[in-house]
Homo-oligomer: A and B are copies of this chain.
Amino acid sequence: MSHNRRDFLKHSSVLAGSAVAAALATAPSAAAAPTAAPVRRRGAAPRMTLRFRPYTIQLRHVFTIATSSRTTTPVVLTEIEYDGVTGYGEASMPPYLGESHESALAFLKQVDLSRYESPFGLEAILHDIDALAPGNPAAKASVDIALHDLVGRLLRQPWYNIWGYDPQKTPYTSFTIGIDTQDVVRQKTQEAAEYKVLKVKLGRDTDKMMVETIRTVTDKPITADVNQGWTDRAAALDMLHWLHERGVVMVEQPLPKERVDDLAWLTARSPVPIIGDEGVQRLADIPKAKGVYSGINIKLMKCTGMREAHQMIVLARALGMKVMLGCMTETSCGISAASHLSPMVDWADLDGALLISNDVYDGTQVVDGKVTLRNRPGIGVRKLKG
């Protein structure tokens, strides 16, 4: 593994996109420099340069949820450079969500940041990027995160300070235990001794075994993620009561997201909060989710990044909904970006970087189970030396 600057550039695509002529007209040195180094011509206004490269995350364990199993996750690592300062971003794309190395690289090639005078106009820049194509939320998030990191570095403050959040108020993160055999579940539960909350993946015929096995090891609070895996609403309600009696404190996406009426029925009767994950992607989904779910699971990779995630927290709170902050398997880049919002949420599931064996960044950590922010500008990451 080599992640130094030379290696990054070797694998990078320097942004060209469809607007090379425009970029050359306004910022010739920055756009034309073959290495994207800050060869800023004296007097020329600085412009942003976007770089990106595909990367494959290796998981420490085979990861199984209701619908799939895998050992790797494709990601794209981005960098945005402006006036000698570089911000870092990431797109993480579990294959079942529809994005891929190919789709993300194709999307990012369309992003022309050289046409903006400064990185501070996040509202307009991110609006333009969102409008480039529908979908592609992780690819969009990789630009959003790098822009936030860049702006935070230019402001010389971590985003928790820019947003005004107390870094001491971060939550404990849950540690996820995937669907597996009884022996593996028991072993993983034992290995998760540091964590104060466990998240169990449910949605197959092994649900009771999973929870009972964990309960042979620990009485810690458990959150459950069904990933749309249940089908009958009456059976689901029985299962919610069964789980509640065994110390499960919250359940994500018990039924398929399309079954809005059944979900509302379940939420109205459930002894534990029901959180929408697959059913709530972006800001515009939240008003419709009121009454259907007790709360929402916000993930940067499905909502296009930090700016919209921040707005989603404001909106959900104002509507009296609970907020969970989740992640994909990600490097410490994506996890660190999300973690600046974590002082404002009810539950956090930010264990994504703990599940991988080839992280690329050092950033937000989990210390004794608690999300622990670094007092560093931007999203607070540093590139690891390869």
Contact = CB atoms under 8 A, between A and B. Distances in A.
Contacts of A307: 164
Interface string A304-323: 00010001001100110000
Interface of A: 118, 120-126, 151, 155-157, 161-166, 169, 283-284, 286-287, 307, 311, 314-315, 318-319, 343-344
Given A155-B155, A155-B157, A123 B318 contact: no
Contact of A161 (B120, B163, B287, B318): B120
Contacts of A125: 164
A66 B126 CA distance: 43
B287 A166 contact: no
Contacts of A315: 314-315, 318
22 contacts: A120-B157, A120-B161, A121-B161, A121-B164, A121-B165, A123-B166, A123-B343, A123-B344, A124-B166, A124-B169, A125-B164, A126-B164, A151-B164, A162-B162, A164-B307, A284-B318, A286-B318, A287-B319, A311-B318, A314-B314, A315-B315, A315-B318
A325 to B, nearest CB: 16
A123 B165 contact: yes
A151 B163 CA distance: 11
A122 B164 contact: yes
A164 B332 CA distance: 25
A120 B375 CA distance: 13
A314 B344 CA distance: 16
Contacts of A156: 155
A283 B315 CA distance: 10
B166 A162 contact: no
Contacts of A284: 318
